[in-house]
């Protein structure tokens, strides 16, 4: 089963991408307060399960953006009770308004 192979950090990254939209790994790291290496690991796992995809960043081609597969992400996050509004962020996720 897919979710049993996803670490909590991947779920936090997925929630961030679902709520905030496309972000670079650096932005994800800053918003989630996860280490860059942890974010890279989480993104590899999410890409492998096709829960997100890499898209070009037209303003800085050195920093690709990652975009959540919203439908799959919503289902998975709902399963883990992480589908609430932006105010109910997973532990470790800092929203910026």
pLDDT at residue 81, rounded to an integer: 87
Say how many C-beta atoms besides its own lie within 10 A of residue 1's C-beta.
Answer: 5
- Decide which of 3.40.1000.10, 1.10.760.10, 3.40.50.720, 1.10.10.10 is the CATH code for 3-79: 1.10.10.10
User: How many angstroms separate the Cα of 72 from the Cα of each of 27, 29, 35, 75?
Assistant: 22, 22, 25, 5
Over the stretch 50-63, which tens digit does the pLDDT of each residue have?
Answer: 999 999 999 999 99
pLDDT at residue 13, rounded to an integer: 97
Sorted by where each begins, the domain ranges of the chain are 3-79
Contact by Cβ (8 Å): 68, 55: no
Kindly state the DSSP code that residue 21 receives in the 8-state scheme: -
pLDDT at residue 5, rounded to an integer: 74
Report which of residues 96 and 30 the model is more confident about.
30
Helix (H, G, I), strand (E, B) or coil at 82: coil
What string of DSSP letters covers 27-79? HHHHHHT--HHHHHHHHHHHHHTTSEEEE--TT-TTS-EEEE-HHHHHHHHHH
């Amino acid at each position: 089963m897919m979710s049993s192979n996803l670490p909590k950090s991947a779920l936090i990254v997925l929630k961030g991408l679902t709520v905030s939209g496309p972000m670079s790994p650096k932005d994800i790291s800053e918003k989630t307060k996860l280490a860059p290496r942890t974010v890279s690991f989480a993104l590899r796992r999410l890409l492998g399960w096709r829960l997100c995809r890499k898209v070009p960043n037209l303003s800085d081609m050195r920093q690709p953006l990652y975009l959540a597969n919203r439908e799959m992400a919503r289902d998975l996050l709902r399963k883990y009770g992480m589908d609430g509004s932006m105010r109910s962020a997973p532990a470790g996720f800092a929203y910026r308004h």
